Amino acid sequence: MRVAYDCDVLVIGGGIVGLSTAYAITRAAPGTRVVVLEKESGPARHQTGRNSGVIHSGIYYRPGSFKARFAVRGAAEMVEFCAEHDLPHAVTGKLIVATERAELPRLHALVQRGRENGIPVRELGPAQITEYEPAVRGLAAIHVGTTGVCDYGAVARRLARLAEDAGSSVRYGAEVRTVGRRGAVVAVRTARGEVLRARALVNCAGLHSDRIARLAGDDPGMRIVPFRGEYFELAADRTDLVRGLVYPVPDPAFPFLGVHLTRGIDGTVHVGPNAVPALAREGYDWGTVRPGELAGTVTYPGAWRIARRHWRYGAGEVRRSLSRTAFTTAVRRLLPEVRAEDLIPAPSGVRAQAVLRDGTLVDDFLFAESPGMVHVLNAPSPAATASLPIGREVARRVLAGLEKGLRA
């Protein structure tokens, strides 16, 4: 029987990973018909449009991991991409600053890791810190030269345009509600009742990636636990306190980098994000609660194992979320001159963090495949930095699957 396909590849999700994947497919296999389905009315409305806008160097990540390989390469490619397409960006470099003696061994370990990942770093004492950042205080720091900033929303919009110019279609307001697979056909139905049939499907649904995998009949073996990151902005007359990017030494128990100071591409200085549990997958404030999603999280064994293991850290984060004074006290460790009234609330973001049943926070990017499908199950920071190599990796997997299907 001849099957009428609407396209070759359906991509669910118009964030930077889905759009980079569509772009990479059209570059690797011109003529492949790709349709991207995005539930919102435009691209980059979730993680991609709500982040720190940092082009990460790759210093933090375990050598050999997807994160290390894709961030180092991705950072260089992101700078080139922005330059080629005239998108706002700057390579500013950044400081990672130890403010307590207990952090010094971890700072030295980062120097080592940077070298293993091929990233040049410079070690600084207190006086040298103030040469870079006069208002920042610390016991020691490292300067990483290849870190930068850009506007990932603008990058996503350009990727969408490039994919469309190459013959792909990007459809907004197209929420995928069901996914079915029969033989060599993958079919989805959208909230509007539209049905689309394809040879392959790519799941880049970010905060909903585990749900899409389950809808497709695949067991993802993980669950997305949403962690909100809240930001403040420095008042306009205080932005001169920060020249570039200043990070604390991260806690290795968590895949989050700690509250940092980032001068964005538009000159505003963001302070954040923290990491508090979100009460909905798209829960951008404490008032947004989705009882069904919350119940799904709290009944998941992995979530209560995290709570049991990390309750002390979590309680501190929640306290700093609810009290601006507590938040300011934490920021003062790096920036002693900052006052509570200098901090103006700014839009938050929610991280799609994959958690295993045993409570392990998945650290690396996580991909899974089943016949006709590729799922991107964990693409947290630095996935925006690494989005060009990630897109190529997903494209390679889906095109290999298509080829196998054609030979069968």
Ligand X SMILES: Cc1cc2nc3c(=O)[nH]c(=O)nc-3n(C[C@H](O)[C@H](O)[C@H](O)COP(=O)(O)OP(=O)(O)OC[C@H]3O[C@@H](n4cnc5c(N)ncnc54)[C@H](O)[C@@H]3O)c2cc1C
Rg (CA), the chain: 21
Q: Are 25 and 204 in contact (CB under 8 A)?
A: no
Instruction: Give the residue among 362, 390, 406 at the shortest CA–CA distance from 18.
Output: 390
Report which residue's Cβ sits closest to ligand X.
Answer: 15
261 binding ligand X? (CB under 6 A) = no
Beta strands in 166-238 (DSSP E): 169-171, 176-182, 185-190, 195-203, 223-234
State how far the Cα of 183 lies from the Cα of 164, in Å rounded to an integer: 29
Which of 8, 11, 18, 110 touches ligand X by CB under 6 A?
18
Q: What angle do CA 227, 324, 225 make, to 5 degrees?
A: 5
362 binding ligand X? (CB under 6 A) = no
Structure tokens at 232: 């403040």
Stretch that binds ligand X, among 36-44, 89-97, 138-146, 326-334 (CB under 6 A): 36-44
Which of 53, 114, 244, 389 touches ligand X by CB under 6 A?
53
Q: Write out the H or E segment, with its range, that includes residue 144.
A: strand 140-144
SS3 159: helix
Query: Binding string, 122-161, against ligand X, x = CB under 6 A?
Result: ----------------------------------------
Stretch that binds ligand X, among 111-119, 131-139, 244-252, 376-384 (CB under 6 A): 376-384
How does DSSP classify residue 249?
Answer: P
Stretch that binds ligand X, among 53-61, 104-112, 300-308, 325-333 (CB under 6 A): 53-61
Which of 34, 35, 37, 196 touches ligand X by CB under 6 A?
37
Structure tokens at 204: 């880049």
Pick between residue 235 and residue 346 the one whose CB is nearest to ligand X: 346
Which of 7, 11, 17, 361 touches ligand X by CB under 6 A?
17
Where b means 16+ CB within 10 Å and e means fewer, 186-209 reads bbbebeeeeebbbbbbbbbbbbbb
Pick out residues in 262-291 that bind ligand X (CB under 6 A). Answer: 273
Stretch that binds ligand X, among 126-134, 202-210, 247-255, 304-312 (CB under 6 A): 202-210
Query: Binding string, 58-97, against ligand X, x = CB under 6 A?
Result: ----------------------------------------
Site residues (vs ligand X, CB under 6 A): 12-18, 37-40, 45-48, 50-54, 56, 175-176, 204-208, 229, 273, 349-351, 379-385
